[in-house]
Structure 1
Amino acid sequence: MSEKLGVATYRVESGVAVLTIDSPPVNALGLAVRTALSEGVARALADDSVAALVLICAGRTFFAGADVTEIGKPILPPLLGDVITQFENSAKLILAAMHGTALGGGLELALAAHYRVAVPSATVGLPEVALGLLPGAGGTQRVPRLIGVAAAVEMIGLGQHVNARQALSTGLIDAIVEEGELETQAIAFARDLLAKQAPLRRLRDLSTDLTLEQATPVFVGFRAAHPELFAGVKAAEGVLQAIEAAITLPFDMGIEREREISRFLIASPESAAQRHLFFAERAAAKFPGHEREKAPAIGTVGVVGDWIHAPLLEQKGLIGDGAAQAIILAMSNDGSQPLETLSRDATIVLVNRVEKLDALAMKMPDPGAVVGLSYTRGVAEIVVGGATRPAAALAAGVIARKLGWAAIFVGAVPGLVLGRLAAGLQAAISALLADSVAPADIRATGKAFGFAGGLLPDAAEGGVVDAGLEQRLVWPVLAEASVLVDEGAAKRSSDIDFAMVRAGLWPLWRGGPAFMAERVGHGQLTEWMAATGHPAQLAS
């Protein structure tokens, strides 16, 4: 006999309660799920027929993390930390049974259970550093106590995803059970623990394996091995500080220190930028105005002409012939290419020369299948013509990602998006040099902002960093980003940011030029453009 508790189902099987959470698509730890968890454990504790509780999730995954839409907003109770305390303090044995991806708060909740099992395909991890955050529900305090300080630094500091076999070897989980038998074998495992009178193991009661003196070389080594994690962004340093608290403070004080660092990171502009880019990357895969439309399946890709990236297609196992479902049409420098070789059945024709895409599309058997493709520094700009069908554009994005590239959708405008923004930066540098600004000062200011050295003038180090100089260097790019959005050249402002960061043309922790332009404000940017004689104008 099962009982509904909101998004959960509660039932008892021979003394073992099973609490199943079913909150599609990924069982994120939002308010409804937290409420069901709190009510479920309370129900088990009050049930005299229950000796143990198995926590499991329906659907494709265990809790895949916090509800990211709640980040930066007031969180309604019960808070995840309070639910975790309920689980950890349970007077009855609790076993977490994991499949899919137990990430972030999902793993933190599992760590509050007394024991953990997982199927072989499961993955666990604490990836919050990618959002400029740290695990804020006890992860930095429990993981070092369970798997050791050095392993915790690597796992949390790098946001690693750990497979079930690795998790078992480090002690993150206690057993691996068979695929398709998770619930049955988890119940059996719980009964075996009860039969053995296994202790209610609370990770908070453990001590770390290293003292602070012993851990200091670990921290120093991690910083030296991963300097990119400490340039501009703050989350990795926050992780090390929180793990240091796990070593030096009693558990409850360590939890409070973790929360203090977490609050600081959530409020930081660097984390805001990283969270913006996280959502920007998700959005970039969807065609604007057709967000629910799915991309057609793409098998092999044919190449007509001499395309520079054809070897990569072959390396990825994607190369086909001229009759393939998708065709790359590599135009020669004079723009000529025999079009009669193209299959009329092609779902998509990707053209490498995009200057006259619409005119070229009209010569094709199916103009709606024609999409432009421009590659720059690991980013594919999918050029959408006037006749291009959304399905064709989405298919182009699939091909680009199969090749390992990021992809954004852009309009057919001269220079496209990345080219115009890169040119905007170089024009700003040229203007500064023409005004006799010292190259060393431009370089120092640009590097302090976060630009890669290769984008800046060659000069000796030791120049002066100047805020006014930074504005003259950066704001022309913000202005150009705003113009691209106004023109419709960029289909979404967030696409600009995602592409610029992925191409290495903008520092991660700055969020992107469109992100910065929004924070500067339309009015202030318009006034600056008018005062400096910027050639373009923003829409009012």
Structure 2
Amino acid sequence: MNSPVSSLTKVGHIAVVTIDSPPVNALGQPVRKAILDDLTTALADTEVAAIIILCAGRTFFAGADITEFGKPFLAPELPDLFGAIEQADRPVIAAIHGTALGGGLELAMSCHYRIAVPSAKLGLPEVALGLLPGAGGTQRTPRLAGIAAAVDLMVGGKPVSASHALKIGLIDRIADGADLAADAVAYAQQLIADKAPLRRARDLDTDLSAEDAQACIAAWREKNSKAFVGFKAPDNILKAIAASADRPFDDGIRREAELFQELMASPESAAQRHIFFAERAAAKIPVAKDVAPLPIASVAVIGAGTMGSGITLAFLNAGYQVRMIDISEAGLARGARHVEATLHALADKGRISQQVRDARIAAFSTATSLSAIADDDLIVEAVFERLDLKQQIFREIDGFAKPGAILASNTSFLDLNQIAAATQRPADVVGLHFFAPANIMRLLEVVQGAATSDAVLATAMNLGRKLGKVAILSQVCDGFIANRVMARRTDAADRLLPLGVMPWDVDAAMTGYGFPMGPFQMMDLVGLDVIGWDRENSAGRTVQEVLCEAGRLGQKSGGGYYDYDEKRRATPSPFAEATVRDFAARSGLPLQSLSAQEIVESLLYPVVNECAKLLEEGIALRASDIDMALVAGYAWPVYRGGPMIWADQEGLPRIVAALEARIATGEPIALSPLLKDKAQRGETFL
């Protein structure tokens, strides 16, 4: 009897097990049981000479059901299922289309033979979840494809094409793609006619001796050293692969299980799995299911500066018709040159074809008058961050845009409601806050105004997906989510300088934590005169003001908190050090010598506190949205998982106690009642 997710049919002497469990045929318990039951039934039939396992729908098994991770697995577990497939006394053939990822590829490798359509992708991406292939993948892959290919597949984590999989021995045949089931049956019939042996991966030898395997692994580790910084999974994967070369299969499987459990219990994997689910949860917003996104065909971007040209590229790269508008002909020409030069560079590097480049350039146009927006479905304002200017622009947009057009502002800090109030259609106004460079950075904050309609909101979130962004919903506040909370890190860093803590020590602590750069390195990169310096009212009251008044504006001037050579390589600045020491001497406060951990706590505990306030105020929909925003927008290290899960792992009582101690010494921090309440109750954010 067929199960709800499978069917067992026969074509002559060939049994065909077909799994149909939308959307991606994940290997959850019902699917595992169905495969094992159908396999057992087929093997009990003496007329069956071979068995094919394939999937209906758009893909082969796209992986294990990761919602089961961290919970007791229900029988049959994956290793037991795969062992039963491998030990079958008749050929079992995996017929692959779509993607065979993670547990899906592990299942295919437990079969005796594999056939795939040309468009299939095969991979073992568990490293992205802080895990390793835990159902025999680390032992079967080296035996089928060799040590070097196994390392690339599992530590690199990128899927390979069917043609490459055939080349390295991961599959045995490529189907013509027209009818995979028919091709698989024909392949099975050929194997039967040829009396092909049962090719079990467990019985194969790796391509290298144990010593050579270690040398191969060491060379990969040296060449890709950055892949290991902060992450635990790559090292455990290499240990498991090494076990495939220096011990029997069953011993290697036991070693794989040990290493898998180490990762499952690690904070790094917990953080990476949290971000995986956070990205998917972010798309779920409180809008009625029957509210459909509005159609968007053409987009106008107002402003041809850095943000405007980046936003233009983001929409062009997603296949939209885009018009860039700026009243300055010179500025518009510069922006247009940047857009076209970027597209040409992408083609030159092989990132896109020349045909795609030409199509995107053909979809791009410019104008110097706002009247050009009359027929566009979406208008994105990307002018200078000044409320009166944006209000003026929106009043003009309101007069030219067609009824039903969406009016979006790229504001990063300003009150969207005040911007929307400049129009007669506030329900059509939404915030689309791109992060620079807009065509590269993944975060898109979708800001919901007080009057923003559900249809406009749904459209904005859907646009994020089409642009390849992570769209995070935010309510209106100063700085929204990412900028607001990370401003607290900058404030905390600035408070350390009068205590004699050097900027480079602060930056080193942040990069040691996992950020690509620290706050003072970032300020030097962006420009000290751009971030928070008021030239007209500057009076040497802060280290930043002294540096700016001295013409030390960051990398662009050759010096800021650091000195820079002609290649912009940084060294600690004696001028900045003397300035910090001068402020420390004048503060009357005792000089501090802080460890890296103390600096991390000084900078990031206030961030956690601000995140809690976002939840209290309803600015962020859920704690995981905050984590996703910081990972995608500020490169918060993914193996830390964002401030919310990191705070849970640190312990909320510890964070509250540290903040209360700083408040007692006069630090201007208002403790979040939500944070304090959760700490007292022994609760966590997630």
- Scaled by the length of structure 2, what TM-score is found? 0.74
For 1:97-246, list aligned pairs within 5 A: 97-246=95-244
Could you tell me which of 408, 411, 418 is aligned with 1:350?
408
Say if 1:350 and 1:396, in contact at 8 Å, map to a contact too: no
Say if 1:140 and 1:258, in contact at 8 Å, map to a contact too: yes
Q: Structure 2 CA distance, aligned partners of 1:516 and 1:89?
A: 44
Say if 1:344 and 1:365, in contact at 8 Å, map to a contact too: no
Q: Structure 1 CA distance, aligned partners of 2:407 and 2:208?
A: 59
Say if 2:112 and 2:198, in contact at 8 Å, map to a contact too: yes
Q: Structure 2 CA distance, aligned partners of 1:121 and 1:365?
A: 50
For 1:406-485, list aligned pairs within 5 A: 406-456=470-520, 465-485=595-615
Q: Structure 1 CA distance, aligned partners of 2:243 and 2:117?
A: 33
1:67 matched residue in structure 2: 65
Say if 1:273 and 1:508, in contact at 8 Å, map to a contact too: yes
Q: Structure 1 CA distance, aligned partners of 2:178 and 2:421?
A: 52
Q: Which moved more, 1:182-191 or 1:486-495?
A: 486-495
Q: Structure 1 CA distance, aligned partners of 2:253 and 2:288?
A: 44
Say if 2:282 and 2:472, in contact at 8 Å, map to a contact too: yes
- Deviation at residue 60 of structure 1 after TM alignment: 1.6
Partner of 1:421: helix, strand, or coil? Answer: helix
Say if 2:493 and 2:519, in contact at 8 Å, map to a contact too: no
For 1:311-390, list aligned pairs within 5 A: 311-312=312-313, 313-314=315-316, 316-320=318-322, 322=373, 323-331=375-383, 333=386, 334-335=389-390, 336-337=392-393, 338-339=396-397, 340-346=399-405, 348-353=406-411, 355-364=414-423, 366-377=425-436, 378=441, 379-390=443-454
TM-aligned CA distance change 1:386 to 1:522, over 3 Å: farther
- Deviation at residue 252 of structure 1 after TM alignment: 0.6
Is the aligned partner of 1:494 residue 2:624? yes
2:256 matched residue in structure 1: 258
- Deviation at residue 517 of structure 1 after TM alignment: 2.6
- Deviation at residue 169 of structure 1 after TM alignment: 2.0
Q: Structure 1 CA distance, aligned partners of 2:111 and 2:37?
A: 16
Q: Which has the larger radius of gyration?
A: 2
- Deviation at residue 520 of structure 1 after TM alignment: 4.3
- Deviation at residue 74 of structure 1 after TM alignment: 0.7
- Deviation at residue 444 of structure 1 after TM alignment: 3.8
Q: Residues 8-55 of structure 1, C-alpha deviation per residue, up to 9 Å, x if partnerless?
A: 211222111111112122111111111111111111111111111111
Partner of 1:192: helix, strand, or coil? Answer: helix
Q: Which amino acid aligns with 1:265?
A: L
1:510 matched residue in structure 2: 640
1:309 matched residue in structure 2: 310
Say if 1:452 and 1:504, in contact at 8 Å, map to a contact too: no
Partner of 1:350: helix, strand, or coil? Answer: strand
Partner of 1:19: helix, strand, or coil? Answer: strand
CA RMSD of aligned residues (A): 2.4
Say if 1:479 and 1:517, in contact at 8 Å, map to a contact too: no
Partner of 2:639: helix, strand, or coil? Answer: helix
2:670 matched residue in structure 1: 535
Q: Structure 1 CA distance, aligned partners of 2:657 and 2:146?
A: 55
Q: Structure 1 CA distance, aligned partners of 2:415 and 2:484?
A: 17
Say if 1:411 and 1:489, in contact at 8 Å, map to a contact too: yes
User: Structure 1: which 5+ runs fail to align?
Assistant: none
- Deviation at residue 436 of structure 1 after TM alignment: 2.4
Q: Which amino acid aligns with 1:84?
A: F
Say if 2:119 and 2:161, in contact at 8 Å, map to a contact too: yes
Q: Residues 494-533 of structure 1, C-alpha deviation per residue, up to 9 Å, x if partnerless?
A: 1211121123442221110122233445555444433322
Q: Structure 1 CA distance, aligned partners of 2:13 and 2:174?
A: 23
1:392 matched residue in structure 2: 456
Q: Residues 78-105 of structure 1, C-alpha deviation per residue, up to 9 Å, x if partnerless?
A: 1110000000000011111111111110
- Scaled by the length of structure 1, what TM-score is found? 0.93
Partner of 2:57: helix, strand, or coil? Answer: coil
Partner of 1:496: helix, strand, or coil? Answer: helix
User: Structure 2: which 5+ runs fail to align?
Assistant: 324-372, 522-560, 563-570, 573-592, 664-668, 678-686
TM-aligned CA distance change 1:298 to 1:144, over 3 Å: farther
Q: Which moved more, 1:405-414 or 1:354-363?
A: 354-363
For 1:68-87, list aligned pairs within 5 A: 68-87=66-85
- Deviation at residue 404 of structure 1 after TM alignment: 4.5
Q: Structure 1 CA distance, aligned partners of 2:79 and 2:673?
A: 46
Say if 2:660 and 2:671, in contact at 8 Å, map to a contact too: no
Q: Structure 2 CA distance, aligned partners of 1:423 and 1:363?
A: 28
What count of residue pairs does the alignment treat as equivalent? 536
- Deviation at residue 212 of structure 1 after TM alignment: 2.8
TM-aligned CA distance change 1:156 to 1:295, over 3 Å: farther
Say if 1:400 and 1:406, in contact at 8 Å, map to a contact too: yes
- Deviation at residue 412 of structure 1 after TM alignment: 1.1
Q: Structure 2 CA distance, aligned partners of 1:159 and 1:113?
A: 22
Q: Which moved more, 1:157-166 or 1:219-228?
A: 219-228
Partner of 2:2: helix, strand, or coil? Answer: strand
2:279 matched residue in structure 1: 281
Q: Structure 1 CA distance, aligned partners of 2:76 and 2:317?
A: 51
